[in-house]
Amino acid sequence: MKNAGIFYTEAGENLAFAPNVNIAHAGLMNSPGHRANILSPDFGKVGIGVIDGGIYGEMFVQKFTD
């Protein structure tokens, strides 16, 4: 992220492969580490990306920074 000009002191990342966003979100919220990133008061910004993951469904990426 720093190479793209995004500066931060705290960062987190979540990745999920799932057939759709609802299943991806449910899986992330049911994982203690991923849920902690989503709900962390330390993160005030998020970037979200989705790409076709082929036979794995879609790949969802969440990048969190302060």
The pLDDT tens digits of the residues spanning 14-28 come to: 999 999 999 999 999
Tell which phi-psi region holds residue 38, choosing left (phi > 0), alpha (psi between -120 and 50) or beta: alpha
| pLDDT(1) > 90 | no
pLDDT at 20: 95
Q: Where are the chain's structural domains?
A: 20-65
The answer, yes or no, to whether residue 13 has pLDDT greater than 90, is yes
**Band of the pLDDT at 56, cuts 50, 70, 90?**
confident
pTM, two decimals, is 0.89
Buried b (16+ CB within 10 A) or exposed e, 39-48: eeeebeeeee
Nearest one of 51, 59, 55 to 17, comparing CA atoms:
59
Q: Tell me the mean pLDDT in the region 31-52.
A: 98
